[in-house]
Amino acid sequence: MKYLPDLKRHALKHALLYLAVLMIWLKTYLTHRFHFDLPVSGWYQELILFINPVSSILVMLGLSLAFVRNRSYIAILIVSMMSGFLLFVNMLYYRFFNDFITLTVLLRSTQLSQLRGSILDLLRPSDFLVFVDSMILFILIYRSNRRSVGVSRTHIICMITCAVILFSLNLKMVDKIRPDLLTRTFDRQIVVKNIGAFNYLVCDTLITARIKAKIVSAGSKDLEIVKTYVESAPKDVLDPKMYGLAKGRNVFLISMESVQSFVLEKKIFDQEITPFLNDLIKNSFYFDQFYHQTGHGKTSDAEFIIDTMLYPLPSGAVFFTHSQNSYYSLPKQLKKNGYYPVVLHGNNKTFWNRDQMYKTIGYERFFSAEDYNITEKNSVGWGLKDIPFFEQSMDKLLTLPQPFYAKLITLTNHHPFELNPEDRLIPQYNSKSKTLNHYIETVRYTDEALKHFFKRIKAAGLYDNSVFILYGDHYGISKKHRKAMAEFLGKEKLTAFDHVQLQQVPLVIHIPGVKGRKMSVVSGQIDLKPTILHLLGSDSVQGLGFGNDLFALNKPQFAVLRDGSFVTEHYIYTGNKCYRKPSGEKTDPVFCEPFRKKQQNHLRYSDKIIYGDLNRFLMHEKS
Ligand code: GP9
Ligand code: MN
């Protein structure tokens, strides 16, 4: 009780500081809630959104007070104005780009200057409310005769400590619904929703600084090492029957969400899971030993591998971490050959940082969620269903200059594999894993969507002059479901060997007018860039990379997975053990040894190219 008067005196003395915290907090929350379109559902997410601004506000105030301790009121005013400015710019930026500001964007003038042109159109009177607290504070400070109340070092330490505790609490709460949010960043919208725009700006700046430091420390000597290695590999001996076979045709590159090879040519209750694909592969080049090589970046990793002929990173999504690097990419090279490269995908454009990375990689246009008519009726699970996605994509494709290189990314067959009753086209499988049972249904739906799409393409007269490349992006059924998978595959149990084999995803290259055949060649997504370029009649593959033309007469039977496992014609290496194919028996590691060096070099040098942004030196050499 005897502390009460002390507390009261303390509160009165620091009233302005508390008032500032409250006002900045409130305006930040309200801006996040009502100006950004953040998908908040349920009280828990609402609570996270409400509390997440406090830690960053305390840090800003603490630091500002530490710098101008004898002018504490001015320090408070500066923070209030600065937070208002950041919110203001973020609101305008969000309205224009549907995305949040990062330091890279703030420092790179191109995007902000785009904004400058339409600033008047974007402004709303309510935007200025973010400066009301600064005005109130200014009046209060002006009216009082003082410019400062003593803020001790202890106060400042207390504020920063509170901020750290609050931020940790914030992350703990988020971890319950989004594990590894920061290390496995996949969507800026979701990160901002969970930690707030200020914290995001700081985290992104720190991560970017660490990445930049690595890039700066890399030199052209590193490039020489990698170059020597890559150039020492045997050159592709091209198959003259395949080279230029699809020259001048439009390219449809279709990413089939989570489709693994085990569903193809397979029946349940006497019904095919992928009837359309099963028919298509009869008239196509079908690669039945093709592996996905993705890591944390899942779909985006697959896209990265195909477009750059580099491996994704051992941790994090390269689409997020290295979207500012220089890349020799498939879209850029195709553009030089007169192609128009585009991407079509019915999800948010910020997901996997696609909006930024696609610019870097050289796409001319990205049709994302905002370009599609997405309603509750035509959506399920992650968003727009595959059939309406393909249907709406058709109208967009017809407006494109030809020849085009169009990547279409499907979505319905995404975990947790939800489907509306009317889209269930196969009886439900009856394993103990609900996930596997639902997966089979959604794969069947995606197969149907592909059938419709091909029909529409034929009707639009686009079919004959096109080439179609369909690939599974990564696994959909994780190790967790191994019991049900073993039962599905008619095995007693699944071994590490089987697990690697389950990383096979379908690759179908369909060239209308060409019969095609089954291609049993051990290969991976990394091989697609040279394959596509050669099919289109481009003989040089620009940039350093690790793939080989799938039709090359000397194609090495080799695929490296991102976890370090690898597959050769006769062996599989995983978890430091060597297995013989096809039996899966463990065998002497000496058999795998000759390929192990190659696997290590591939991953090590690919990482080196990305971490050191080595292509910039190569581009410099060439210019
Ligand atoms: C999201 C879609 C799915 O846009 O590509 O992403 P995933 O989780 O499979 O990487
Ligand atoms: Mn995916």
pLDDT of residue 250: 98
Which atom of ligand 1 lies nearest, measured to the CA of 474? Answer: 9
Which atom of ligand 1 lies nearest, measured to the CA of 414? Answer: 9
Which comes out higher in pLDDT, residue 95 or 413?
Answer: 413
Ligand with the closest atom to the CA of 256? 2
Which atom of ligand 1 lies nearest, measured to the CA of 473? Answer: 9
Q: What percent of the chain has pLDDT over 90?
A: 77
- Section 365-389 average pLDDT: 96
The answer to whether residue 13 scores a pLDDT higher than 90 is no
Ligand with the closest atom to the CA of 351? 1
pLDDT of residue 96: 77
- Section 165-189 average pLDDT: 84
- Section 230-251 average pLDDT: 96
pLDDT interval class at 464 (50, 70, 90): very high
pLDDT interval class at 69 (50, 70, 90): confident
Measured distance CA(512)–CA(507) in Å, rounded? 16
pLDDT interval class at 345 (50, 70, 90): very high
Ligand 1: lining residues by beta carbon, under 6 Å: 298-299, 347, 351, 409, 411, 414
The answer to whether residue 570 scores a pLDDT higher than 80 is yes
Strand partners, 380: 383
Query: 301 C-alpha vs ligand 2 centroid, how far in Å?
Result: 9
- Section 261-273 average pLDDT: 97
Ligand with the closest atom to the CA of 389? 1
Which atom of ligand 1 lies nearest, measured to the CA of 351? Answer: 4
pLDDT of residue 71: 84
Backbone torsions φ then ψ of 187, nearest 5 degrees: -150, 125
CA pseudo-torsion sign 241, 244, 248, 251:
positive
Backbone torsions φ then ψ of 557, nearest 5 degrees: -85, 95
The answer to whether residue 544 scores a pLDDT higher than 90 is yes
Measured distance CA(273)–CA(161) in Å, rounded? 57
The answer to whether residue 547 scores a pLDDT higher than 60 is yes
Q: What share of the chain is helix, strand, coil (3-state, %, to 5)?
A: 55, 10, 35
Query: 547 C-alpha vs ligand 1 centroid, how far in Å?
Result: 24
pLDDT interval class at 181 (50, 70, 90): confident
Structural element, H or E, at residue 115 = helix 109-117
Measured distance CA(591)–CA(570) in Å, rounded? 9
pLDDT of residue 108: 66
Structural element, H or E, at residue 135 = helix 132-143
pLDDT of residue 99: 80
Query: 464 C-alpha vs ligand 1 centroid, how far in Å?
Result: 30
pLDDT interval class at 187 (50, 70, 90): confident
pLDDT of residue 325: 95
Protein residue whose Cα sits closest to atom 4 of ligand 1: 347
Q: What percent of the chain has pLDDT over 70?
A: 96
Q: Tell me the residue type at 496.
A: A
For the question of residue 531 being annotated catalytic, the response is: no
Query: 609 C-alpha vs ligand 1 centroid, how far in Å?
Result: 25
pLDDT interval class at 346 (50, 70, 90): very high
pLDDT interval class at 5 (50, 70, 90): low
Residues 6+ apart with CB under 8 A from 401: 340
- Section 224-230 average pLDDT: 96
Residues 6+ apart with CB under 8 A from 482: 493, 494, 499
Mutate to test the pocket of ligand 1, among 190, 349, 382, 474 (most ligand atoms within 8 A of CB): 382
* Weakest-pLDDT range from 182-186, 306-310, 387-391, 509-513: 182-186
The answer to whether residue 185 scores a pLDDT higher than 70 is no
As a whole number, the mean pLDDT across the chain is 93
379 to 77, 221, 342: CA distances (angstroms): 47, 51, 23
Marked catalytic residue, from 31, 185, 274, 299? 299
Mutate to test the pocket of ligand 1, among 300, 353, 379 (most ligand atoms within 8 A of CB): 300
CA pseudo-torsion sign 528, 529, 532, 538:
negative
Confirm whether pTM is higher than 0.85: no
pLDDT of residue 1: 54
The answer to whether residue 256 scores a pLDDT higher than 80 is yes
Measured distance CA(620)–CA(351) in Å, rounded? 31
Mutate to test the pocket of ligand 1, among 352, 439, 475 (most ligand atoms within 8 A of CB): 352
pLDDT of residue 621: 76
Query: 381 C-alpha vs ligand 1 centroid, how far in Å?
Result: 12
pLDDT interval class at 110 (50, 70, 90): low
Which comes out higher in pLDDT, residue 274 or 71?
Answer: 274
pLDDT interval class at 378 (50, 70, 90): very high
Protein residue whose Cα sits closest to atom 9 of ligand 1: 299
- Section 491-514 average pLDDT: 97
Which atom of ligand 1 lies nearest, measured to the CA of 257? Answer: 9
197: burial class by Cβ within 10 Å (0-12, 13-18, 19+)?
buried
Q: What is the set of domains in the chain, with CATH numbers?
A: 4-213 (no CATH), 245-548 (3.40.720.10)
